[in-house]
Amino acid sequence: MRVTVLNDEKPGICPAEHGISFLIEGGAKILFDVGPSDIFARNAATLGIDLEEVSAIILSHGHWDHTNGLKYIKGKKLVCHPDCFAKRFWKNDKEYNGVPITLEEAKKQFQLVLTTKPYKLGEDILFLGEIPRLNGFEAKTTEFYLEGGADDFILGDSALAIKTGKGLAVIAGCSHAGICNIVEYAKKASGVGNVYAVIGGFHLLENNESARRTIEYFQKEKIAAVYPSHCVSEAVIEEMGKSLNVIRIRSGDVIDI
């Protein structure tokens, strides 16, 4: 199984923008998030990747920095939680923060699969659907609100669980549901108790109690490889590196799992 970083916060052999996009290859080719622009497609071309071979696009959740690239691709299967197409905004400046196309446009542009339940994308790849939020230290506050004014806890935030020969690899976009909640549900939904790697955005912006408890959880689970990406601060990455095997990733990197 191979993960190619088509966009991440930090430039590597390819340029970077705020947001995330991964290409996952293992039997099928799957695009996990499409970033804030057409950068995923430009970087794919630089890397010699033919996006016409992609069989499905997965959205981790309905924020612009993970979905604006939808404007630059069409005709594929698109899998996401129904909540992805809610109209959502930042609390601080009231700016729109959602998907760039409407649900009706998505139905015309893609082969749309909306699901709150786990959805198999291949023999070893599982979209997790809605994540139960069970622990007491994640997903308790939000910076966003929905059209109409209600707090937006991004209930559609999801992830992928991938079975590998070394154990389970969990790939998250932003972890608004909480990365520990996500990993716990990935184990349950996949039936694999051993988690080998966690890759992507963990939504840990401060080295606070939530970050410390996340690190403790990763230690308890004996996660062998941690690849922090989008929305993980340098302070948290440094703290993780004191007790975990942290591998930094950049745009253009290839991860074999």
Would you give per-residue pLDDT tens digits along the chain (257 residues)?
999 999 999 999 999 999 999 999 988 899 999 999 999 999 999 999 999 999 999 999 999 999 999 999 999 999 999 999 999 999 999 999 999 999 999 999 999 999 999 999 999 999 999 999 999 999 999 999 999 999 999 999 999 999 999 999 999 999 999 999 999 999 999 999 999 999 999 999 999 999 999 999 999 999 999 999 999 999 999 999 999 999 999 999 999 99
- The CA radius of gyration of the chain, in Å to the nearest whole number, is 17
Overall domain count for the chain? 1
Rounded to two decimals, what is the model's pTM? 0.97
CATH number where 195 lies: 3.60.15.10
Instruction: Provide the pLDDT for residue 28.
Output: 87
Instruction: Provide the pLDDT for residue 6.
Output: 98
Pairing of strands 159-164, 195-200: unpaired
Read out DSSP for 119-185? Answer: EESSSSEEE--SPP--SSSSS---SEEETTS-B---TT--EEEEEETTEEEEEESS-TT-HHHHHHH
Instruction: Provide the pLDDT for residue 199.
Output: 98
Nearest-angstrom CA–CA distance, 117 and 127 = 8
Residues 156, 131 contacting (CB under 8 angstroms): no
Decide: residue 204, CB within 10 A, 0-12 exposed, 13-18 middle, 19+ buried. Answer: buried
Residue given tokens 């990763």 in the structure block: 218
- Range of 202's domain? 2-256
Instruction: Provide the pLDDT for residue 169.
Output: 98
